[in-house]
Amino acid sequence: MNDKTDVNTKDALLAAAIEVFADKGFDAATVRDICGKANANVAAVNYHYGGKDALYVAALEQVFPMEEHTDISTDTSLEPEERLRVYLTMMVDEIYERGNGMVNERWAIFLREMAKPSPNLDFIVHRQVEPRANELREIVAAILGPDTPDQVLAFSSSNIWAMMLDHVLTQPILDRLSLKRPAVKGNRNSFVQHLVRFALGGLNAVKGQN
């Protein structure tokens, strides 16, 4: 097996693994499934990656790339309300539009990990979720004020996250309702505008109770 064939096989295995893990989840996915999709020998996973577990980590690194891990900061010199608008715009683009061409696979893997966590959920939380959650919490704290209780910050941040992710989690149901809600795709600007208004309205109401 020459070097070029090795590289091609390794890349094909990774691409196939992402599809299979997204479709079946970590537990249900088999090496045979992955190798069959990649047109590779069943021994190829061990040869190139050292096993299914290591291949899953490689898939996660591809689906949740490192550059996105670091590219989540907003300008702290902005007014908190404007920071929130910038943050929500950035997150909606990341969740629904931006990325490495694997938006569907990313969220399929994410949702499967939520339903049945593997030991690698920590990787996703550390790389993808925690930096974004910390940024949002900082913005919310700037809007609500320094004396806001931790519980209120946590609840408020979670409420905003829920609004951002609602269509990812519920779109198949929304598509089946008699009064359909528009998808985010094709309605990005109006969706962001609504998120900003609703989030600020809620935060201002909470702020008035503290």
Greater confidence (166 vs 6) lies with 166
**Domain carrying residue 126:** 66-209
Same domain for 71 and 54, yes or no, is no
Same domain for 55 and 116, yes or no, is no
User: Percent of the chain having pLDDT more than 90?
Assistant: 57
**Residue 210: pLDDT over 70:** no
* Buried/exposed code over 175-210 (b: 16+ C-beta within 10 A; e: otherwise): eeeeeeeeebeeeeeebbeebbeebbeebeebeeee
Q: Name which of 131, 138, 140 is nearest 163 in CA terms.
A: 140
Same domain for 36 and 72, yes or no, is no
Same domain for 145 and 74, yes or no, is yes
Same domain for 70 and 174, yes or no, is yes
* CATH number, domain containing residue 171: 1.10.357.10
Pairwise CA distance, residues 147 & 11, whole Å? 51
Same domain for 77 and 51, yes or no, is no
Q: Report how many domains make up the chain.
A: 2
Q: How confident is the model at residue 36 (pLDDT cuts 50, 70, 90)?
A: very high
Q: What pLDDT is stored for residue 73 in this prediction?
A: 81
Quick: pLDDT tens for 138-190: 999 999 998 999 999 999 999 999 999 888 888 788 888 888 788 888 889 99
Quick: pLDDT tens for 54-67: 999 999 999 887 76
Pairwise CA distance, residues 66 & 57, whole Å? 13
Most confident of the following: 96-100, 101-105, 148-152: 148-152
Same domain for 49 and 75, yes or no, is no
Task: Choose one of 63, 81, 103: the last residue of a domain.
Answer: 63
Pairwise CA distance, residues 41 & 28, whole Å? 19
Q: How confident is the model at residue 98 (pLDDT cuts 50, 70, 90)?
A: low
Q: What pLDDT is stored for residue 68 in this prediction?
A: 60
Most confident of the following: 27-36, 125-134, 161-170, 184-193: 27-36
The stretch 42-59 carries a mean pLDDT of: 95
State both tokens at 79.
Answer: 């007014």
Task: Choose one of 12, 28, 63: the last residue of a domain.
Answer: 63
Same domain for 50 and 139, yes or no, is no
Pairwise CA distance, residues 87 & 165, whole Å? 14
- Name residues whose C-beta falls within 8 Å of residue 86's C-beta, 6 or more positions apart in sequence: 74, 75, 78
Q: What pLDDT is stored for residue 169 in this prediction?
A: 81
Same domain for 161 and 118, yes or no, is yes
Same domain for 50 and 75, yes or no, is no
Task: Choose one of 44, 63, 82: the last residue of a domain.
Answer: 63
HSE-up of 109 (CA within 13 Å, CB side)?
Answer: 28
N-terminal to C-terminal alpha carbon distance within the chain:
68
* CATH number, domain containing residue 52: 1.10.10.60
- Name residues whose C-beta falls within 8 Å of residue 100's C-beta, 6 or more positions apart in sequence: 62, 63, 65
Same domain for 34 and 59, yes or no, is yes
Same domain for 140 and 187, yes or no, is yes
